[in-house]
């Protein structure tokens, strides 16, 4: 009975609470800028979120909610997101509080809100313009410079092309994804697209960052003076250029001479072990992992970390180091990890020398030392160690632990008796569960005709398209259009669907298709959906002039 009860309880274990993750797209921000706050749940939370605590320090400009489900290898997963656009009410350090989703909660976030910069140089007549800034302007050689580009606009554009910064004596890396937000300058509202780069000058002296040029197709407010399906939006090209920025790159300071030059904003050096270093066994490997993480640096300046052990009785086998860079909005993180397998051939104590990494702190502009102190290993003689023959060992990496074979102890008669009754109880419990599952199975119920899935009606996807156009959501617009095309014309791509439509709807669908696959500065956030929705409401779709089925039509170049 105890076994049956245990099995029954195992079938009714309460599911874990849904994990709610909160994140902002930018930090810090200016007082007149909006910030995007996203809550992500890997499972459906207990209840809808309560955003009331946010209104103490923020105005909620806009909010949306979406979910995505998937089924992979017999396991289902769900991802739910709540996206809010917030405008801060004051400058300073603002704590975004933990938001309750029933009994589930998100973690708090600290947001730095800076005073709005002076905008006396901004021309209110400009429909779009670029601003750039670099920090710091007097960097040290091979140190990080954050280069920020902001594209301001107060008009609708269909597409834009932007030059990339190029320099012969510097490394340039793009940081993260572009962010879009709203701001106000001189009382005028603008939509801003912000892009960040990390620049690492490779030689001292003067470094000039040439102006960047952006060309955009601006939608004209003037409409054609004739009506009909062939009406299309009128656009004109506008060009904007940024300012030139000059950097005064300084050489490595005198204090760094005769040392490896490693400039960074922050640095962390640490080690970990696969087992207890005070109870190491003869002939058994112990893996040491040394990791170095530097913020504001490239992997090219990170030094080697492992030092050879002088004692021949302690063999060490190094794995290939793992090096990688991570681009974050606040800068580049360079990481180096080394794994070393240590094997002792005799008992005793072994001392590993300290690891010293000198580095230059670009924030305090001082030389600093990161170190791992000398480490002592205590090796004990194994019971099966053979001291009469020389020992040879095969290198073992940290990702392949040594096999651990445990001897099974003999059982007495009482133990065998108890084990027999345990197996009998388990067999009866499984039989009971199988019988219960059989009677509750849908196959035992009277067969019912399979209900045909009702195709969504036109108002359903029209409502979805209206929501996408109001929020300027390209992906949602694509989903609504494909639903409409699949139901009415059995097509599965926007390019094929456009062939069934007259202008201007055809042009708007083709524009959505191009923006989704653009490789330049065609940011989906720049798309305005009001023209698509107007064309969808006014247009009447046409049938194929060739009389062919949709499957016989040529597939578009970019199939969605």
Question: Which CATH architecture is the domain 260-380 placed in?
Answer: Sandwich (2.60)
Please answer whether residues 209 and 147 qualify as being in contact, where contact means their C-beta atoms are separated by less than 8 angstroms. Answer: yes
Tokens of 434: 């199988």
Distance CA 139, CA 155 (A): 37
Residue partners of 551: CB distance under 8 A and separation at least 6: 490
DSSP state of 302: P
- CATH class in words for 128-249: mainly beta
Joined together, the tokens standing for residue 190 give 């603008």
* Burial of 538 from C-beta contacts in 10 A (0-12 / 13-18 / 19+): middle
Decide: 340 and 319 in contact? Cβ < 8 Å.
yes
The residue ranges of DSSP E strands in 220-354, in sequence order, are 235-241, 245-249, 263-264, 266-273, 280-281, 286-295, 314-318, 322-328, 331-344, 348-352
Could you list the pLDDT tens digit for every one of the 560 residues in the chain? 554 444 444 444 334 456 889 999 888 888 777 888 999 998 888 888 999 999 999 988 888 988 887 777 767 778 899 999 898 999 999 999 999 998 888 999 999 998 866 544 555 567 899 999 999 999 999 999 999 999 999 999 888 889 889 888 999 999 989 999 999 888 889 999 999 999 999 999 999 999 999 988 888 765 554 454 445 567 777 888 899 999 999 999 988 777 789 999 999 999 999 999 999 999 999 999 999 999 999 999 999 998 777 788 999 888 899 999 999 989 999 999 999 999 999 999 999 999 999 999 999 999 999 999 999 999 998 644 443 333 333 333 333 333 333 333 333 434 444 555 566 566 666 777 776 666 665 544 444 443 444 444 445 788 888 888 888 888 888 888 888 888 888 888 888 888 888 888 888 888 888 777 654 334 445 677 888 888 888 876 555 444 444 443 333 333 33
Backbone angles phi, psi at 112, to 5 degrees: -95, 120
The residue behind tokens 């000058």 is 201
CB of 368 closer than 8 Å to CB of 361:
yes
Buried b or exposed e, range 483-520, using 16+ CB within 10 angstroms? bbbbeebebebbbbbbbbbbbbbbbbbbbbbebbeeee
Q: Which residues contact 113 (CB under 8 A, 6 or more apart)?
A: 28, 29, 30, 31, 88, 90, 91, 92, 93, 94
C-alpha–C-alpha distance, residues 442 and 334, integer Å: 56
For residue 339, what are the β-bridge partners?
289
**CA–CA separation, 96 and 108 (whole Å):** 5
φ, ψ for residue 83, nearest 5 deg: -115, 125
Pick the CATH number of 16-114 from 3.30.1540, 2.30.29, 2.60.40, 1.10.3470: 2.60.40
Going by C-alpha positions, the residue among 490, 497, 503, 494 that lies closest to residue 549 is: 490
Same fold, 16-114 and 260-380: yes
How long, in residues, is the chain? 560
Are the CB atoms for 127 and 155 separated by under 8 Å?
Answer: yes
Which DSSP letter does residue 497 get?
A: H
Coil, helix or strand for 262? coil
Task: Return the biggest CA–CA distance within the chain.
Answer: 102
DSSP assignment string, 462-485: HHHHHHHHHHT-HHHHHHHHHHHH
Which residues, in sequence order, are bridge partners of residue 92?
A: 113
Q: What share of the chain is helix, strand, coil (3-state, %, to 5)?
A: 20, 40, 40
The reported pTM is 0.54
d(CA 36, CA 31): 14
What's the chain's Rg over C-alpha atoms?
32
| Domain-wise residue ranges, the chain | 16-114, 128-249, 260-380, 458-552
Q: Are strands 205-209 and 245-249 parallel, antiparallel or unpaired?
A: antiparallel
User: Which helix (DSSP H) or strand (DSSP E) does residue 96 occupy?
Assistant: strand 92-96
């Amino acid at each position: 009975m105890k076994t049956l009860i245990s099995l029954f309880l195992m079938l009714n274990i309460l599911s874990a609470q849904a994990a709610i993750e909160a994140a902002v797209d930018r930090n810090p921000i200016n007082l007149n800028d909006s910030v995007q706050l996203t809550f992500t749940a890997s499972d459906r939370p207990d209840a809808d979120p309560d955003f009331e605590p946010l209104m103490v320090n923020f105005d909620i400009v806009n909010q949306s909610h979406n979910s995505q489900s998937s089924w992979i290898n017999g396991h289902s997963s769900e991802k739910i997101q709540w996206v809010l656009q917030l405008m801060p009410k004051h400058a300073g350090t603002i704590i975004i509080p933990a938001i309750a989703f029933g009994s589930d909660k998100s973690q708090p976030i600290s947001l730095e809100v800076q005073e709005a910069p002076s905008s006396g140089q901004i021309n209110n007549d400009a429909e779009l313009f670029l601003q750039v800034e670099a920090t710091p302007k007097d960097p040290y050689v091979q140190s990080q410079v954050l280069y920020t580009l902001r594209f301001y606009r107060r008009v609708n554009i269909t597409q834009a092309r932007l030059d990339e910064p190029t320099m012969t004596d510097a490394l340039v890396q793009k940081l993260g994804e572009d962010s879009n937000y709203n701001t106000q300058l001189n009382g005028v509202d603008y939509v801003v697209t912000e892009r960040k780069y990390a620049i690492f000058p490779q030689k001292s002296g003067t470094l000039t960052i040439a102006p960047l040029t952006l060309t955009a197709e601006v939608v004209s407010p003037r409409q054609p003076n004739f009506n009909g399906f062939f009406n299309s939006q009128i656009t004109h090209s506008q060009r904007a250029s940024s300012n030139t920025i000059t950097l005064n790159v300084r050489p490595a300071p005198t204090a760094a001479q005769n040392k490896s030059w490693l400039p960074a904003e922050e640095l962390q050096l640490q080690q970990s072990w696969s087992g207890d270093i005070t109870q190491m066994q003869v002939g058994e490997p112990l893996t040491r992992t040394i990791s170095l993480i530097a913020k504001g640096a490239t992997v090219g300046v990170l030094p080697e970390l492992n030092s050879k052990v002088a004692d021949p009785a302690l063999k060490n086998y190094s794995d290939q180091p793992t090096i990688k860079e991570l681009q974050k909005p606040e800068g580049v993180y360079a990481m180096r990890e080394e794994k070393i397998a240590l094997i002792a051939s005799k008992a005793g104590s072994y001392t590993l020398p300290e690891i010293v990494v000198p580095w230059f702190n670009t924030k305090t502009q001082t030389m600093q030392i990161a170190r791992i102190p000398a480490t002592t290993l205590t090796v004990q003689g194994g019971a099966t160690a053979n001291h009469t023959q020389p020992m040879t060992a095969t290198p073992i990496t940290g990702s392949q632990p040594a096999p651990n074979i445990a001897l099974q102890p003999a059982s007495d008669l009482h133990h065998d008796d108890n084990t027999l009754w345990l197996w009998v109880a388990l067999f009866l419990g499984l039989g009971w569960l199988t019988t219960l599952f059989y009677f509750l199975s849908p196959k035992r119920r009277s067969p019912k005709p399979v209900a045909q899935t009702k195709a969504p009606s036109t108002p359903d996807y029209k409502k979805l398209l209206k929501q996408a156009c109001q929020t300027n959501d390209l992906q949602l617009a694509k989903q609504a259009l494909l639903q409409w095309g699949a139901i009415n014309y059995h097509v599965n791509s926007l390019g094929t669907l456009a062939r069934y439509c007259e202008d201007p709807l055809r042009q708007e669908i083709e524009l959505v298709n191009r923006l989704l696959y653009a490789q330049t500065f065609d940011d989906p956030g720049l798309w305005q959906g009001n023209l698509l929705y107007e064309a969808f409401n006014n247009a009447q779709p046409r049938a194929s002039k060739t009389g062919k089925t949709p499957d016989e039509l040529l597939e578009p170049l970019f199939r969605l």
